[in-house]
Amino acid sequence: MSGFLQHVVDAVALGSLYALTALGIGLIFGVMRLINFAHGDFIMVGAFSLVVPSSAATSTLLIGAWPAPLLVAGVCAVVIALALATERLAFRPVRRADPAVLLITSFAVSFFLQHAVIAIHGGRPKSANIWPNLMEPIVIAGVRMPQLQLITIVVTLGLLAALALFLKRTDIGVAMRAASEDFQTARLLGIRANYVIATAFAISGLLAAVVSLLYVAQTSVLSFQMGVPLVLFAFVATVVGGMGSLAGAVLGGFVVGVGSVFFQVVLPAAWRSNRDVWVYALVLLILLFRPAGLIKTKASEEKA
């Protein structure tokens, strides 16, 4: 029984990471109809900010050496600044363009960021050990789990709750939600558009920073492509959840996370390296039956 509970915890923890990433993507999609391919690279840059910029093969901790509250604040500041900068420099000039151009622009930004990091840090993966004690297991209700997983879940729930309040209670939040669900409304953002969009990017950056920290604490590896698997699954999660629905993004993230752990457990050992293939196949299957995703919004229906 504890084995099963262990898997459940794994699934929820992984789903949390995907949900947070998917939410970061979903927020930007909501206000701008932009699929931010560079989101994974926000995560990556946040991770690399932990070490001193150098092309040496071994890394020295920079922000990673600071006490925990400063460390968290530092990474968040870096990623939020990056998010706001890309919005201002790369996305604002093309804001009125059609979604295809926006998507390609974000792809270009992603490409640019990855190669900039290669130029600064070199192309090889580096290690970054932060908070190693979090990998120590603790026992709750007979289940052994690394503290990190528990923290991941708790932090995620906290962030989701805070975000939900923000989206319901504040003016900006309400505007963001309305824009997300109906693009006509998004276009009416008008004068406040700059402010609302910048806020969306800032929150997206915050979510990316948190994912970055949790991910590095778990894997201790930095590589310039580290954001890619996360972001691919997060994209897929937003589509499965229902484009335009923020709750859908979160739901999609959990579906992908749970599916991933499910296949990891259920597949015979020889097939396990192909677990991701099965997850993608599951996604395509869901889309076959529900092309609009699991949660339908006005964004996914159009009227003549």
β-partners of residue 127 are: 221
Diameter of the chain measured on Cα atoms: 59
Assess 280 for contact with another protein (CB under 8 A).
yes
**What is the spatial distance between Cα 287 and Cα 179, in angstroms, rounded to a whole number?**
24
List the alpha helices (DSSP H) in the chain.
2-32, 39-48, 68-86, 99-121, 147-169, 171-181, 183-187, 193-219, 227-241, 246-266, 275-289
- Does residue 168 interact with another protein by CB under 8 A? no
| Helix, strand or coil, per DSSP, at residue 264 | helix
Decide: is 184 part of the binding site for another protein (CB under 8 A): no
Of these, 52, 61, 84, 94, which contacts another protein (CB under 8 A)?
94
- The token duo for 44 is 């990556």
**By C-beta, is 169 or 303 nearer to another protein?**
303
Q: Is 141 helix (H, G, I), strand (E, B) or coil?
A: coil
Dihedral angle sign, alpha carbons of residues 38, 274, 10, 251: positive
Q: Does 288 bind another protein (CB under 8 A)?
A: yes
Query: Is residue 93 within the footprint of another protein (CB under 8 A)?
Result: yes
Residues contacting another protein: total by CB under 8 A: 46
Which residues from 220-259 bind another protein, rule CB under 8 A?
228, 232, 235-236, 238-239, 243
What's the closest the beta carbon of residue 9 comes to another protein, in angstroms?
Answer: 25
Nearer to another protein, 90 or 164 (CB): 90
126, 221 Cβ separation under 8 angstroms: yes
Contact window for another protein (CB under 8 A) among 41-49, 62-70, 89-97, 154-162: 89-97
Where does this chain bind another protein (CB under 8 A)?
33, 35, 90, 93-94, 97, 99-101, 103-105, 107-109, 111-112, 115-116, 118-119, 228, 232, 235-236, 238-239, 243, 273-274, 276-277, 280-281, 283-285, 287-288, 291-293, 300, 302-304
